[in-house]
Amino acid sequence: MAGAGLLDIKRRIKSVNNTRKITKAMGLVATSKLRKTRQQLSLNDSYLESVNKLTESLVGSVEDINNNIYFNPKSEGAILYILMTSDSGLCGGYNGNTVSFFASEASRVHDAKVMVVGQKGLGYLKKYSYETVAEYVEIPDIPTVKEAKIVYEHAIKLYREGKISGIRMIYTDFISPVKQELKNIKLLPLEKSSKGNLTLLAEPSIDEVLEGTLEVYLKSLILNCMLNSKASEQSLRMSAMDGATKNADDLLDALNTKYNRIRQGAITQEISEIVGGAEAQK
C-alpha cells in the first residue's frame, strides 16, 4: 500500500516540477518583454509630450476652428470605444477587468460601439452582448506606428462619415510594475486650446497644416495607449507567473514532506516486522 502511495506522490511531484519550469520560464520571458516595452514607452512619452505642446500651440493660434470636423462632429450618433486587450492569456485579471470597465463606461452613453484590439477581449465581450465594429489581433509585443495607423484610419473614417460622433480609448495605463490604472480618454472631438499666441504663416494652407498635425498627434496618442497596455499586460503576466511559481514551490514542499513521512513510516514498519520476526525465532 505504501509503495503505491509513494508512486502516486512521485508522479505528482514530477508533474508539479514540470509546471513550475513552465511558469518560471514564462515569468522570465514576461520580465524581458516588459523591460523592452518600458524602454519604448519612455521614448514615446517624450515624443508625445513634444507633439502635444506643438498641437496645443497650433490649435490655440488658429482663429476659425469651429467648422473643423476634429472639433465639431458631423452628427450626434454613437460613441466608438477602442478597447485595448491582449492576444494571449495567463495575465491575471487584465482582460476581464478591462472589458468590465468598458461595459461600465459604455453604459453611461446612449449608444456605444466598440473596436477591439487583442484576441482575448472578444470572448469577454460576448457576456455583455456587444457587437464589434472591427477586431485587430496579433499585435506585436512592442506596437509600432503601423498598428496605430491601421486603428486610427478605420476610426477616423467612421467619424468623418458621421457614423459616430466621438472616439474614446479604453486602455490600462502603466504607472509602475506594481500599479496599473484603467483609463477612458477622449480622442475626438478635440477641445480648443487656449495655449497659443503664434503668428502663423502656413504653406500650403493653415487647414492642411492643422489636419496633418492633428493626425500625427492622434496616431501618437493611440500608439502611446497601445504601449501602456502592452507594458501593463506583461507586468501582470510577470506577477501571475511569479505567483504560480511560488504556489508550485509551496505544493512541492508539501508533497515532499508527505512523501518523506510515508517513506519513513514504511521503513519503520519494515524494521518493526524484522525485529518482531527475530524475536519470534528466539
In whole angstroms, how far apart are CA 144 and each of 67, 151, 190, 203, 260? 32, 12, 24, 29, 54
Could you tell me how far CA 107 lies from the centroid of its own chain? 22
CATH superfamily to which 28-237 belongs: ATP synthase, F1 complex, gamma subunit (3.40.1380.10)
Q: From edge to edge, which strands make up the β-sheet containing 132-136?
A: 132-136, 112-117, 78-84, 164-176, 179-188
Domain ranges of the chain: 28-237
| pTM exceeds 0.95, yes or no | no
Pairing of strands 112-117, 164-176: unpaired
pLDDT of residue 45: 93
pLDDT of residue 184: 95
- Give tens-digit pLDDT for 217-272: 999 999 999 999 999 999 999 999 999 999 999 999 999 888 888 888 777 777 77
Q: How far apart are CA 186 and CA 126, in angstroms?
A: 24
pLDDT of residue 79: 92
Q: How far apart are CA 98 and CA 122, in angstroms?
A: 12
pLDDT beneath 50, residues of the chain: 1
Q: How far apart are CA 62 and CA 191, in angstroms?
A: 13
Residue 149 has phi, psi (to 5 degrees) of -65, -40
CB of 78 within 8 A of CB of 112? yes
pLDDT of residue 67: 74
